[in-house]
Structure 1
Amino acid sequence: MISHYLLIFYRTFLKNKSTFFINLLGLSSGLICVFLISLWVNDELSIDKFHEQKDNLYQVMRSIPLDLEGISTGEITPTLLGETIVREIPEVDKAVTATPNEAMTFTYEDNSFNTQGKWTTPDFFNVFSYDLIEGYKDEVLSDKSSVVISSKLARILFNSTDVLGKTVEIKDRGDFVVSGVFQKVDKSSDDFDFLLPIKVLTDKFPSFSDWGNNYPRTYLILNNTNNIEGFNDKITSLIRSKSESQQEASLTAIPYVDKYLHGKFENGVQVGGRIEYVRLFSIVAILILIIACINFMNLSTAKAMRRMKEVGIKKAVGSGRSPLIIQYFFEAILMTLISVVIAIVITYFILPVFNQIADKDLSLDFGPYFMFYLLLVVFITGLLAGSYPALYLSSFSPANVLKGNIKGSLGEVFARKGLVIFQYGISIILITSVLVIYKQIGYVQNKNLGYNRDGLIYFNAEGNVRKHLETYLADVKNIPGVKNASSMYYDFFFYPRTNELEWEGKLPDSKIDFSVLVVNTNFIEMLDMKMKSGRSFTRDHNSDVSRIIFNEKAIDAMNLKDPIGKTIKFRGKEKQIVGVVQNFHFESLYKDITPLFFLLTPENNANSIMVKIDVENQKNIIANLQDHFKEFNPGFPFNYKFVDDEYQSKYASEQRVSVLSQYFAGLAIIISCLGLFGLAAFTAERRLKEIGIRKALGSSNFNIFYLLSIEFIKILVVAIIIATPISYIITKKWLENFSYRIDLEPTYFILAGLLSLFIALFTVGLQITKVARVDPVDCLRDE
């Protein structure tokens, strides 16, 4: 029986080569999309799942109520929280305290390398499942002079991972002995190359262990996860009992493996994050596959006229409906299997390009799981694609078929047109979404932020640069092409927040969180920030270290009138307001502008250097900066970043979504066009005799073209009418993620509709033009 089905499949292919290849192209394209998105989704879902105790691994989040932002939730917690929770709450087996990543320069003999790592507590490797190549997890962080490095860093510094006991110099930190080497994991959301004992920090800076100081992160292994809400109440009560400044704080333990995909909080509640893009692309993959299957249905049904006699004769000689259904499902599954093979081959070759766009390292793994997935795809797609043709063709009455009395039912017509409306509606939604995403990304990339980031680079202040800061800045300003230079105590994109301000008229229950930028002179001028009132900092005023500059948002939040010259208290010390700077965006446009103030750094005190250069000759200027840096600061690598690149990186996910959406939308349009081609072929097949009679009676090619195309225009207009409000809802919901966004103008929806209409009519026109030019003799010779 199978050999018989294969023979019929082969003969059908020989008679309908164009239909076969169009079907093959449509299904293969849809399956390529499914494979690529499946690989991406699977990779996203697997992040952080490698930890052996993932089901009991939790991270503590801290929430505080604010006047302007509602409840603000973040990862920062007190340093002592972890060890205290282990000691006082029985549900906790182990705890780890770890700082955010910090850049440091490692040196061994002539090798130097600047990389990221963190300070942490001894139980790190008992909580997180990073494999230790060298060392024992209970001992590697027990000594204050020890350091654990990644296999990557070990090979860079020592050309080997057998490095236990070797001493490395960490610039500005001292000498440390390598006590362990760990293997980096691709599926980790936390990328670091070294770990240092946090006790070094707590011994050097006792205030780091103050309960009111929130900086590191806290991770827990729980032995009982049945009552997380009760556990959250316990740790909240604990932190409030330890410090007066934590009375408004609430602590929540969330599964660590959920944080990567569900890292977005609103008013203290987890509301999503990257999981939204996972869901989005999963839906896109399913819809594109459905569109491809619809094409298969339409094209198969369009050619049904040529197989009617085959069905009629088989039924007349005794064949039942079931064998016919099996035959057509077999053909559909076989076509799907061929499409899958083609899709796998093409996916293999385009995967490197997709990895570059998606910033992934995906690969095809032909293991048992993947083979099962392929068979499932073949079976489901084959059933989905072949269901309508199988049920439709097998339903023909042999008497009607052999007499030529087959007429399409009203339900059949509506079903076929409904499928085309559905697939083209999806294409219109994708086109609209791509337009809106493209416009929004362009908006955030080009919006006036209130400061000029063109030509701004920054790098770490280390070694002699930090020790002789003012001398270094003076030298840098003399390098040709350097417009200005200044420094910061923190990183421009990472700085603390505080609510420890007091001012005249402050309400007792006022809760305002201020961002703190501790900067050098020329910083505000270098960034071309505008002063609304007052002045900037200057070293000519020796007392400017006791001065403060606010942004407009802060002054409005404090409800201060005529603020220049007024005095506020910050951590008990008086600061005089000397200036108010116009609002500027120093965070992503997902967030509104927040209250902020500037403080002047003491001399020779900075962590970051910022330099503004002439963008016309930046390559030579940076080369000169590098030469001077190496001469001034021997032994330290010159690792700089552009502020503009760092700003753009805040929207890396959106940029990738934008690019991928363009490809997927284009693919959906192509596949939908194949679907319209199928419907046009079906219509032409059904009305071929009518066309012949009309031409015999004098109808022109244009009349025939108009007669056939008006039907498709109606279908497309219905698709546009249905898809437009859905597009509006989807794009409006996405734009709500941004505090600053474009307006949803009717232009986007009109343009998407017109573009889809033009593409569709062009596709249909090719088929209709061919039919309209047919010789009526060829249409009527059998009558």
Structure 2
Amino acid sequence: MTVLKMAWRNLLKERRSAFLNLAGLAAGLTCTLLIYLWIRDEMKMGRVHPEGVYQLMANYPQEDGIRTIANTPGPLADAISAELPEVQATATVLQASWFPGRGVLFSKDRALKVRGQFAGPGYFSVFDCPFVAGDRLSFLRNKETLAVSEDVAVRLFGSAAAAVGKTVRWELGEFSGPYTIGGVFRTPTRYETEPFDVMASFALFVEKRPGMKEWTNSDPGTFVRLRPGADEAAFNRKIKYFITAHAPNVKTELVPLLYADKYLFGTFENGVVTGGRVGYVRLFALIGAFILLIACVNFTNLSTARSMTRAKEVAVKKTLGAARSTLIAHFLAESILLAFLALGIAILTVELLLPAFNTFSGKTLALNFDIPQLAVIIGVTLLTGLLAGSYPAVYLSGFQPVGALKGSLKASSTEAGVRKGLVVTQVALSAMFIVSSLVIYRQLSLIRHRDLGYNRDHLVHFEIPMEMDSVSLGRAESFLGELRTLPGIADVSSYYHTLTGQHGNISDFTWPGKPAGKTIDFANLEVGYRFLETTGMKLKEGRSFSYTPNSTREIVFNETAIRQMGLKDPVGKTIRFWGQDRVIVGVVRDFHFESLYQPVKPCFFQVYPAMPNALVRLRAGAEQETLAQIQARYQQFYRTAPFEATFLDENYQAQYAAEMRIGTLSFWFSALAILITCLGLFGLAAFTAQRRKKEIGIRKVIGASVISVTLLLAGDFLRLSLLALVLAFPLTAWALHQWLSDFAYRVDLAPDLFVLAGGIVVVLTLLTVGYQSVSAALANPVKSLKSE
């Protein structure tokens, strides 16, 4: 307690130094706390799944390497259960993300957009899915029965118990129809890998789409739960060629992925897990560590810079019998006390910033001070205090009493070298933040403005409640025809799969001149009439689909598909898939239908009169009025269905929501790091000017100008900043090259980025240090020399 009292008194005595240290540490801890909360939330994602549950990923060899997808053949789960004793249970699941849009669930007087999935009989043996009402197996026994989440049950019927036994209508393409609610499951938390609201029997899906029974199909996900103590290595070997053993023509390898890891480790490259969102977790952990390091460097630099002012204090204490260990404890107590004072400020700041932080991070973070969170916060603060104060404590406690009391103690070259090294480290880290922010900004700008091969401006889309029967199709065609009459609409079409990464895949193709054994995985884009015209896609050769009964026998490929197939003069040639002949009528120029992480892949279009998602190009200038007119027409045709229109550009940007948030957070954290560095340089420049005030006075007396004195003081810091840039830029360039390599389309690490970053560092250094240098140069030399 005595040590803390002395530490507190000393902090009050050295107010300016304490304020600079407190501001730097508080800023560093604020940033670290925000990053910790974000990382903790990310690490929880997917961890709600039971241990030993794996999703089987499928590796498909392609022209440019191996493509990994989460879709597998329908019969796979049952075959694994029957043949592999290591497996405790298997489940086939058509997850909600497989469907291009959300279905609609209707009660008597309410309608609700819902995410539906289809699950096989082994689902409850693989996953934990507690029910709060009804029978959890009812929907497996009866294909006309659904299970719904507690949230859906409450919103439609007031309570979970009231929902059981009720009849609802579910609109989801060919699966639309009346269903009975057989059970209500607990609403999945936001930490689910694939959240859903409604669950139906996979047997119903197979009934509507018999192709699910074939080994050549690749639509559902297959999940396995291994027995406790099972040999995972042996299972991996057995599962690798399991599909090929049952279907020799399907050249696919299976890779088990721990389902709890899919959120963080869901990115594959050439058939191997290369990371995923865990990269952002590591990046932010590194940012937090660097910013805290910068704050600690500030403390160390300022403490050692004013060491001469505390030399006599140390000498007196040593003369009175204080041991060096006691002095070290005293100085560490000062730094730890300051760290915890900074923590108090940081907690208040975090509470103020959390609403805004949650808004652009897309999370609901909170400081709840549970035991694990409290332990981490206290531990990080204690470590910060020790790290910041260790070197000053050891250094200050080592002063010799005689030299200090005589006033003959001089700063050692070691002290000066350490301080310069810390300044270089601090400025180098700031330079790395600046360059990284500039590169991230340019990469995100490229993503936002890249030519995608179609015009996404003024395109809106929305779901059309329809079944795949003639009555529903006729109504959808009539509705789309009505929209074409509206003056604010330039063009109208429809589609099934999306232009933002969701599509089917087909490899069972034959074409003229196809080499034996060659397999290409084509993306299947099913669209309505005038889709190419509505999106503004350009034809390289041929034409778009015709309005004739034979149009469903026509097919349009992209350039990449034709190039990989090796077809010359493709228009008019006949290809075959799904047991049908199709005539190539056109070749569309390559366009992006997946994220820019991926190169353009081979794809094809096939046309249908109407599909479940309308795509409308609005005329510029009257978008809101036209949307109101579209909604009015929609409600005439589909009275009770909710209308939700979204601009296609918003969907495109949503693909990169994580990157956009990372860019925003990186900018603010970089600004904070630079601010902390400037605080340190400001304080260091002030102490340097104070220490050299007599030298400055002498120089001015013998004729030195204000400019020369200013350059003298600022020059040392400027040289250190330039050295920091030389050290920081190569490492930064390497790290950014690694990050950019994940994008198929990326900006270059141009020299102007580093020139601009270097200029920012130099200007900030001059502005920060220059104020103190000019103040010292303008001071009256008589005052500084009076004591001599």
When normalised by structure 2's length, the TM-score is: 0.95
Identify the residue that residue 598 of structure 1 maps to in structure 2: 605
**What residue identity is the alignment partner of 1:166?**
K
Task: Choose which of 447, 457, 464 in structure 2 pairs with 1:454.
Answer: 457
Q: Secondary structure at 2:767's aligned position in 1?
A: helix
Contact 2:134–2:182 (8 Å) recurs in 1: no
After the TM superposition, which of the residue ranges 177-186 and 746-755 deviates more from structure 2? 177-186
What is the CA deviation profile of residues 348-389 of structure 1, one whole-angstrom value per residue up to 9, with x for unaligned ones? 121111111111111112122222222212221111011121
1:242-391 to 2 correspondences below 5 Å: 242-246=246-250, 248-391=251-394
Residue 608 (structure 1) aligned with residue 607 (structure 2) = no
Identify the residue that residue 570 of structure 1 maps to in structure 2: 577
Task: Choose which of 23, 34, 53 in structure 2 pairs with 1:25.
Answer: 23
CA distance in 2, matches of 1:409, 1:450: 65
**What residue identity is the alignment partner of 2:515?**
L
Q: Secondary structure at 2:115's aligned position in 1?
A: strand
- Which stretches in structure 1 are left out of the alignment for 5+ residues? none
CA distance in 2, matches of 1:771, 1:226: 74
Identify the residue that residue 643 of structure 1 maps to in structure 2: 648
Identify the residue that residue 395 of structure 1 maps to in structure 2: 398
Give the deviation of 1:119 after TM superposition: 0.7
CA distance in 2, matches of 1:226, 1:95: 15
CA distance in 2, matches of 1:710, 1:226: 67
CA distance in 2, matches of 1:7, 1:769: 38
Give the deviation of 1:137 after TM superposition: 4.2
Identify the residue that residue 91 of structure 2 maps to in structure 1: 96
CA distance in 2, matches of 1:600, 1:297: 69
CA 1:204–1:126 in structure 2 vs 1: closer, same or farther (change >3 Å)?
A: same
What is the CA deviation profile of residues 630-654 of structure 1, one whole-angstrom value per residue up to 9, with x for unaligned ones? 1111221112222111111111111
| Aligned-residue identity in percent | 38
**What residue identity is the alignment partner of 1:579?**
G
Identify the residue that residue 720 of structure 1 maps to in structure 2: 725
Q: Secondary structure at 2:389's aligned position in 1?
A: helix
Task: Choose which of 188, 191, 206 in structure 2 pairs with 1:184.
Answer: 188
Task: Choose which of 486, 493, 501 in structure 2 pairs with 1:479.
Answer: 486
Contact 1:502–1:570 (8 Å) recurs in 2: yes
Contact 1:123–1:138 (8 Å) recurs in 2: no
CA distance in 1, matches of 2:465, 2:39: 41
CA distance in 2, matches of 1:473, 1:561: 37
Contact 2:53–2:224 (8 Å) recurs in 1: yes
CA distance in 2, matches of 1:575, 1:109: 45
**What residue identity is the alignment partner of 1:436?**
V
CA distance in 1, matches of 2:152, 2:410: 74
CA distance in 2, matches of 1:619, 1:96: 46
What is the CA deviation profile of residues 397-447 of structure 1, one whole-angstrom value per residue up to 9, with x for unaligned ones? 111111112222222211111111111111111111111111111111111
Give the deviation of 1:155 after TM superposition: 2.0
CA distance in 2, matches of 1:497, 1:354: 39
Contact 1:476–1:625 (8 Å) recurs in 2: yes
Residue 425 (structure 1) aligned with residue 428 (structure 2) = yes
CA distance in 2, matches of 1:684, 1:137: 76
Contact 1:302–1:685 (8 Å) recurs in 2: no
CA distance in 2, matches of 1:428, 1:228: 46
Give the deviation of 1:685 after TM superposition: 3.1
Identify the residue that residue 710 of structure 1 maps to in structure 2: 715
Give the deviation of 1:237 after TM superposition: 4.0
CA 1:698–1:490 in structure 2 vs 1: closer, same or farther (change >3 Å)?
A: closer
Task: Choose which of 519, 527, 532 in structure 1 pairs with 2:535.
Answer: 527
Identify the residue that residue 213 of structure 2 maps to in structure 1: 209
Residue 543 (structure 1) aligned with residue 544 (structure 2) = no
Identify the residue that residue 779 of structure 1 maps to in structure 2: 784
What is the CA deviation profile of residues 739-780 of structure 1, one whole-angstrom value per residue up to 9, with x for unaligned ones? 111122111110011011111210111222222222323323
Residue 505 (structure 1) aligned with residue 505 (structure 2) = no
CA distance in 1, matches of 2:24, 2:451: 44
CA distance in 1, matches of 2:684, 2:135: 68
CA distance in 1, matches of 2:215, 2:224: 18
Identify the residue that residue 661 of structure 2 maps to in structure 1: 656
CA distance in 1, matches of 2:192, 2:156: 23
Identify the residue that residue 9 of structure 1 maps to in structure 2: 7
Contact 2:509–2:577 (8 Å) recurs in 1: yes
Identify the residue that residue 45 of structure 2 maps to in structure 1: 47
Q: Kindly tell me the number of residue pairs found equivalent between the two proteins.
A: 774
Contact 2:57–2:254 (8 Å) recurs in 1: yes
Task: Choose which of 56, 66, 72 in structure 2 pairs with 1:71.
Answer: 66
CA distance in 2, matches of 1:166, 1:554: 49
Contact 2:494–2:611 (8 Å) recurs in 1: yes
Residue 734 (structure 1) aligned with residue 729 (structure 2) = no
Give the deviation of 1:136 after TM superposition: 4.8
Residue 559 (structure 1) aligned with residue 566 (structure 2) = yes
CA distance in 2, matches of 1:380, 1:297: 14
**What residue identity is the alignment partner of 1:147?**
L
Identify the residue that residue 630 of structure 1 maps to in structure 2: 635
Give the deviation of 1:584 after TM superposition: 1.0
What is the CA deviation profile of residues 147-177 of structure 1, one whole-angstrom value per residue up to 9, with x for unaligned ones? 1211221222112222222222213232222
Give the deviation of 1:256 after TM superposition: 0.8
After the TM superposition, which of the residue ranges 80-89 and 485-494 deviates more from structure 2? 485-494
Identify the residue that residue 111 of structure 2 maps to in structure 1: 112
**What residue identity is the alignment partner of 1:523?**
F
CA distance in 2, matches of 1:513, 1:237: 18
Contact 1:48–1:189 (8 Å) recurs in 2: yes
After the TM superposition, which of the residue ranges 271-280 and 684-693 deviates more from structure 2? 684-693
After the TM superposition, which of the residue ranges 668-677 and 613-622 deviates more from structure 2? 613-622
Residue 145 (structure 1) aligned with residue 158 (structure 2) = no
What is the CA deviation profile of residues 11-64 of structure 1, one whole-angstrom value per residue up to 9, with x for unaligned ones? 32333222111111100000011111111111111112123x32x111111112
CA distance in 2, matches of 1:575, 1:255: 41
Q: Secondary structure at 1:185's aligned position in 2?
A: coil
CA distance in 2, matches of 1:508, 1:759: 65
Residue 35 (structure 1) aligned with residue 40 (structure 2) = no
Contact 1:141–1:179 (8 Å) recurs in 2: no
CA distance in 2, matches of 1:660, 1:184: 28
Q: Secondary structure at 1:191's aligned position in 2?
A: coil
Residue 229 (structure 1) aligned with residue 233 (structure 2) = yes
What is the CA deviation profile of residues 220-256 of structure 1, one whole-angstrom value per residue up to 9, with x for unaligned ones? 110156533321232344322322442x111121211
After the TM superposition, which of the residue ranges 579-588 and 141-150 deviates more from structure 2? 141-150
Contact 2:241–2:252 (8 Å) recurs in 1: no
After the TM superposition, which of the residue ranges 773-782 and 354-363 deviates more from structure 2? 773-782
1:460-471 to 2 correspondences below 5 Å: 460-463=463-466, 466-471=473-478
Q: State the Cα RMSD in Å.
A: 1.7
What is the CA deviation profile of residues 667-707 of structure 1, one whole-angstrom value per residue up to 9, with x for unaligned ones? 00001111212321332233222122222333232221111
CA distance in 2, matches of 1:594, 1:262: 23
**What residue identity is the alignment partner of 1:60?**
L
CA 1:699–1:690 in structure 2 vs 1: closer, same or farther (change >3 Å)?
A: same
CA 1:26–1:367 in structure 2 vs 1: closer, same or farther (change >3 Å)?
A: same
Residue 238 (structure 1) aligned with residue 242 (structure 2) = yes
CA distance in 1, matches of 2:617, 2:433: 41
Q: Secondary structure at 1:502's aligned position in 2?
A: coil
**What residue identity is the alignment partner of 1:152?**
D
**What residue identity is the alignment partner of 1:23?**
N
What is the CA deviation profile of residues 582-621 of structure 1, one whole-angstrom value per residue up to 9, with x for unaligned ones? 11111111111111111122x3x42221111124221111
Contact 1:133–1:183 (8 Å) recurs in 2: no
Contact 1:298–1:682 (8 Å) recurs in 2: no
Residue 666 (structure 1) aligned with residue 664 (structure 2) = no
